[in-house]
Amino acid sequence: MQENRPRAVAPEALPGAITRYLKAHRAHDTAVAVTAFTGDATVIDDGNTYEGVDEIKRWLSRSATEFTYTTELTGAQQTDVTRYVATHHLEGNFPGGTVDLHYRFTLRDDLIERLVIEP
């Protein structure tokens, strides 16, 4: 598969670490969500960078309580052997009320090494 040539994949075909994170995040289960990441993982969300398990745990705890929203997985793509994109539609009480976000995952050793969340 060529770099930057994403192909659609069924959501159930996403790797286990990604589905574990997405399900736990949707359920506000920080303890399970953080197990999907490598110890030195990086998350970039809303212009902020979180590095390592402790910072990611704090980010997950805060993002779970900051706003009330629903999320629906609307698509999934595989860019290459370690990179996936999961697109979610969110509706809630955050500024703007609705947004489509792309969760861009990079995996290492079957865990999430990097996650970039952006519109």
User: Residues 90-104: pLDDT tens digits?
Assistant: 999 988 999 999 999
Rounded to 5°, angle at Cα 23 from 53 and 60: 35
Extents of the domains making up the chain:
7-118
3-class SS of residue 55: helix
26-45 per-position pLDDT tens digit: 888 999 999 999 999 999 99
Task: Specify the pLDDT at position 4.
Answer: 60
Strands 111-118 and 98-108, bridge-based pairing: antiparallel
Pairing of strands 111-118, 37-45: parallel
CATH topology of domain 7-118: Nuclear Transport Factor 2; Chain: A, (3.10.450)
pLDDT of residue 49: 98
What secondary structure letter does DSSP report for 34? G
The Cβ-side half-sphere exposure at 118, using a 13 Å CA radius, reads 9
